[in-house]
Amino acid sequence: MLATPGLTALKDPAEARRVLLDDALAGLELVQRFDGSIVDVGSGGGTPGIPLAARLPEREVTLLEAERRKTQFLERWTDELPNLRVVWGRAEEQPNETFAVAVAKALAHPPVAAEWCLPLVREGGAAILWVGPSADAGAVAQVAAKLAGELDDAPPGFVVLRKTGPTPPGFPRRAGMAKKRPLA
Ligand SMILES: C[S@@+](CC[C@H](N)C(=O)[O-])C[C@H]1O[C@@H](n2cnc3c(N)ncnc32)[C@H](O)[C@@H]1O
């Protein structure tokens, strides 16, 4: 990957490969359950979006990132991967139902990540969250139920939320609300 000072604290190349590449591609088969465009929400240094774009060249992949400095780094990758584009902005401020699949790794606590990701996804698509072993799937399911989402089968380390209908009125809530007043 292109070097960028201060974006990650990873010094050991083997550890960097595991965190940036292998962890990202662990979700490849889940993403392939759903056709269509992909958005990586809170892409940071580009994972999982860049590895997914490289492995799925026929799929359009958008890296959505709130911090301008990080998007400047991410934009360098668009020369190498024509199916990649970068958007600077917050998830809560994007148009609803623009993508088939939203992926997110280390974006926020899973209930918050679910609230940010599900409105971006069209009916029939899914939000796919890379989560830690202690993730509370029950809380995520409660949030999903308020956003026309429902839990799908997923291996350990992932939550898959299938979008079963249009986003209910009132979502996304304004920036900051998902963390301040979590839905579950
Ligand atoms: C901990 S980093 C994870 C980055 C990357 N996905 C990874 O796994 O290494 C979380 C990223 O999400 C971005 N972020 C946080 N809230 C966001 C929001 N509401 N919309 C878009 N990006 C957001 C932050 O700027 C940060 O770059």
Distance, CA 108 to ligand 1 centroid (Å)?
A: 8
Q: How far apart are alpha carbons 166 and 64 in whole angstroms? A: 21
Pairing label, strands 121-130, 149-152: unpaired
Would you say the CB of residue 33 lies under 6 angstroms from ligand 1?
no
Distance, CA 70 to ligand 1 centroid (Å)?
A: 10
Distance, CA 31 to ligand 1 centroid (Å)?
A: 19
> What pLDDT score was predicted for residue 1?
44
8 Å CB contact between 27 and 106: no
Q: Is pTM beyond 0.85 here?
A: yes
Over 70: is that where the pLDDT of 5 sits?
no
Would you say the CB of residue 90 lies under 6 angstroms from ligand 1?
yes
How many other C-beta atoms lie within 10 A of the C-beta of residue 59? 18
Q: Which of the two residues, 2 and 16, has the higher pLDDT score?
A: 16
Residue 142, C-beta contacts closer than 8 angstroms, at least 6 positions apart: 111, 183, 184
Q: What is the mean pLDDT of residues 20-27?
A: 93
Chain centroid to CA 54: how far?
16
Would you say the CB of residue 62 lies under 6 angstroms from ligand 1?
no
Distance, CA 102 to ligand 1 centroid (Å)?
A: 13
Given the CA of residue 70, which atom of ligand 1 is nearest to it?
27
Over 90: is that where the pLDDT of 7 sits?
no
